[in-house]
Amino acid sequence: MRGFWERLTDFICRRHTAILVAALVATIGLAVGGTLIKFETSQDALIGGGSTVAKQNHRYQSTFGGEAMLTVYHGDIEKLFTPTNIARMQALEDDLHRTGLYRYVLSPLTAMRFAQGELKVGPQLFDISIKNDPAHAAQYNAVLSGELARLSKVTGPQDLTNPSFVRFLLYDANGNIRSALNTNFIDKQHALMIVRLYGNDPIGRMGNAADTVKRLVAKHHLDGFTTLSTGPAVLLQTINDYLQHGIVTLGALAVLVMIVVLWLVFRVRSRLLALLCVVVSAVSTFGIMGLIGLPLTLVTISGLPILIGIGVDFAIQMHSRFEEELAYDHDPGAAMSRVMVDLAPALSIAMIAAVLGFVAMQISKVPMIRQFGAMLDLGVAVIFVVVLLFPLAFLFRREQKHPSPPTPPPTAREPLERGVRALALAARGAVLPMVLVGLVIVVAGFAVDGKFTIQTDPEKWIPPGSSTEQGLKQLRAQAGFSTELDFLVEAPDVIETRVAQWMDAYANGEKAKYPHAIVATTSLPGVISGVTGGPPFREQMELMLSVAPPDVRTAFVSPDHTKANLIFPIANISLHDRGVLLDRMRADAHPPPGVHVTASGLVVVGIALVDALQANRTGMTYVALGLVALWLLVYYRNLVKTILTLVPVLIAVGLSSLVVYATGLELSPLTSVAGPLVIAVGTEFAVLILTRYVEERERGRSREDAVDVGAVRIGRAFVASGLTLVGGFAVIALSAFPLLRDFGIIVALNTLVALLVALIVLPPLLVWADRHPRLGGFSPGFDPERAEEREVEHRDIGLTQGT
């Protein structure tokens, strides 16, 4: 391998200008590919288009539509039906239909026109009930007689402009809103319009549909009413807009923080070169993603700051080492050769380890996490190629044009190097206690790893107090719910008596059984039972469909009568409680033979997402560790080196879990991938420390001096790269969106933990293992060729001066 790195050095020296030009051309060219990136916002990105839940959800939504926009009218509901308001509601319905964005519109006007139609066939409905259920004939006759008597007292025409007739339609004999109208009339001061979006729409189209509802409702204002229009579509739109646009702002702030850190900590010439490498790497990565069709999702969009951090990290290591080597003989070619021979292999090990760690994400059942892993693998590979060629070509050309003045190498007297040296030597006399404490941390960390709270309720991802959250709260306060649980009922003929009666009995039974969770039930059989007070029959279903407005028929029964809709608006219960409710409702459902019942909707998707995240989140960490361990063993061909590299990584993973558990941070689809990230970052830090220790030992330094010199020499680059990573994620932690805030906090903490653990734990372990050659030949021994490459001087770091 040494010959390969030497040939690569020679290539960079001879073709440095061509490399810089090629990087510029490739970046510009791939920037065009970046415009082809698609933002995947469908529910398939959450649970996978091939999953059972996704297929069931597609089938439901293709028939009965997707999410609903809910508009609450606050005012005296009887005043909805003045001639002016009736005309405006009709105009609103017409405008909504003309947009082509909605499956159906159920306004208060639609509901009342349906009630008018029911009145026309009312006597027939009761006749059918009496004929098919003679045991309760007296009850049916009493209800019918009472209704006819009330109707006879209505003065004026039987149309919706007549307040007396409106009151008859709205209220039952007890003065309560009729149960058949509960879907659209919540109470005497609140009415509801339900606008169902087309199913399987991307979030971008859903956002447009939501905005259109708001605009048209405002355009057709009803006299005497205030309105509130919101719903799940608004929630998803808010998340979508922020992730597409807000992340760019946060990314820019992360870059600004990195500039400040580089300027203050990384005191070398061309100190912002690392950011130039990041720009080339990021543009190239996103360009390739666009060309190969790898989409951006709720998770992959957060890969931008990760790639920025890793790119800066790798670039700083290369740049810092070049400046260090240049200080010895001021020969840029020789300095580059030593960088390539000594550092590039270590970065190669770290790069491949990171790629393998991210490969572990492919076992996830969540598509967007698998895509996240693919994006990180692609990004790390691109970063490595860029960092391997671009910085050295740039620095070599810089030295040819404007040679650097002689500068002394870093010494242990400088504050930053002194701090790194103190950490590296902190545990040198307590190896056994440190190992025991580390073992406890690892065991405890893995023990609590499965006990984290996973928050997949999208409402918990947006800023508390935002207009979207306040709107949803007001919706629940006025309508009693903001989301629903949908059931798709499939049968050869869903309007036949046995199916209709089962739907009605099941819906009423579940509402009675879970009154704290189920706000109401909505179905065509429920409308019939609400009118007659008895079970529905096929003839009644046919009659109701014959007088139902087109939107009502679309909402409840498919044109071929093979599918029916059963809707349960649910209270604001936690996602865990929703999962429990869904399991119980599935267990309670015992449909007649030949009838299939399937739960669908955003609630079901959210529950499926929780299950998918919990299924193998811990498994991803184990697989990542296994793949990294196998790679290190193959490369080192030395079990001791492999174990020594993994010890700080294991401790970092365990400690990170304990920190998350202790702080009570909730995991989301973003933060659930923290394990592989910690492994990738921790492995890089450990590999760099181990490699530098071996290098210094092969040059003839003692064990203690190898740690001391290595810590001082890599200290500034180590701290600069670590702080840029931490700083970048700390900026994300400032986001108002909990979805990103918690991700930034967790990854920043994990990065800091990985850095500190590597600096404190690994150096004393290296010295201890080096003193025991029987451990498997760890001690690298003296390498005359390497020692001659650069004269070993102890005085240059003050080791002989008692520092």
Tokens of 257: 């923080």
Read off the amino acid at residue 513.
K
Residue 479 to residue 198: CA distance in whole angstroms: 22
Q: What angle do CA 322, 323, 329 make, to 5 degrees?
A: 90
Contacts of 496 (CB under 8 A, 6+ apart): 538
d(CA 299, CA 81): 48
The verdict on 267 and 358 lying in the same domain is yes
* Whether 65 contacts 198, CB under 8 Å: yes
Query: H-type helices in 100-246, by residue range?
Result: 108-120, 122-132, 137-152, 163-170, 203-219, 232-241
Select from 44, 40, 49, 54 the least CA-distant residue to 300.
40
Q: Residue 608 corresponds to which tokens in the numbers above?
A: 């499926």
Same domain, yes or no: 209 and 294: no
In a domain, 592, yes or no: no
Q: Is 502 helix (H, G, I), strand (E, B) or coil?
A: helix
Q: Are 281 and 386 in contact (CB under 8 A)?
A: yes
- Round to whole Å and give the CA distance between 126 and 532: 6
Query: Looking at the 3D structure of the chain, how many domains does it have?
Result: 2
**Residues 552 and 194: beta-carbon distance below 8 Å:** no
Please give the residue range of the domain that contains residue 84.
68-107+189-230
Does a structural domain hold residue 16? yes
Cβ–Cβ under 8 Å, residues 687 and 350: yes
Reduce the DSSP state of residue 485 to 3 states and report it.
Answer: strand
Q: How far, in Å, CA of 755 to CA of 353, rounded?
A: 16
Say if residue 266 is in the same domain as residue 219. Answer: no
Residue 500 lies in a domain: no
pLDDT of residue 457: 67
C-beta separation of 138 from 534 below 8 A = no
Q: Checking DSSP bridges between strand 483-490 and strand 185-187, what pairing results, if any?
A: unpaired
pLDDT at 557: 96
Judgement on whether residues 298 and 407 belong to the same structural domain of the protein: yes
d(CA 346, CA 690): 9
Is 162 part of a structural domain of the chain? Answer: no
Torsion region of 370: left, alpha or beta (phi above 0 gives left; psi -120 to 50 gives alpha): alpha
- Where do we find the tokens 């690569």? 8
Q: What is the pLDDT of residue 803?
A: 36
From residue 180, alpha-carbon distances to 172, 372, 381, 545, 559 in Å are 10, 48, 62, 15, 22
Mean pLDDT by 10 residues, the chain (803 residues): 86 93 92 82 67 83 89 95 96 96 95 93 94 93 92 91 95 90 92 91 81 95 94 79 68 77 80 88 90 81 77 87 86 91 91 92 85 91 94 93 76 67 82 89 84 68 78 83 89 96 96 92 93 94 95 95 94 83 94 93 78 76 93 91 91 84 72 81 88 86 81 71 74 74 78 84 89 68 68 43 36
The residue from 230, 259, 284 where one domain ends is: 230
Q: Are residues 221 and 247 in the same domain?
A: no
Q: Is residue 548 part of a domain?
A: no
Residues 209 and 327 in one domain: no
Residue by residue, what is the 3-state secondary structure of 615-670?
A: HHHHHHHHHHHHHHHHHHHHHHCCHHHHHHHHHHHHHHHHHHHHHHHHHCCCECCC
In angstroms, the CA 371 to CA 358 distance is: 10
What pLDDT sits at residue 41? 62
d(CA 402, CA 228): 66
Looking at 169, 202, 230, the residue that finishes a domain is 230
This prediction has a pTM of: 0.80
Are 686 and 774 in the same domain?
yes
- How much is the pLDDT for 537? 96
Backbone angles phi, psi at 485, to 5 degrees: -115, 120
What is the C-alpha separation between 790 and 339, in angstroms, rounded? 12
Q: Give the C-alpha separation, 717 to 3, whole Å.
A: 27
328 falls within a domain: yes
Which CATH number belongs to the domain containing residue 79 in this structure? 3.30.70
pLDDT at 262: 79
User: Are residues 11 and 94 both part of a single domain?
Assistant: no
Alpha carbon 134 to chain centroid, angstroms: 58
CATH number of domain containing 21? 1.20.1640.10
Q: Which residue among 173, 201, 230 closes a domain?
A: 230
Residues 13 and 88 grouped into a single domain: no
The partner residues of 171 in beta bridges, in order of sequence, read 177
Phi, psi of 384 (to 5 degrees): -65, -45
pLDDT value of residue 794: 41
Give domain status of residue 756, yes or no. Answer: yes
Q: Residue 180 belongs to what H/E stretch?
A: none
* 719 shares a domain with 621: yes
Same domain, 699 and 777: yes
| Residues 199 and 256 both lie in one domain | no
Q: What is the pLDDT of residue 596?
A: 95
The answer to whether position 719 is within a domain reads yes
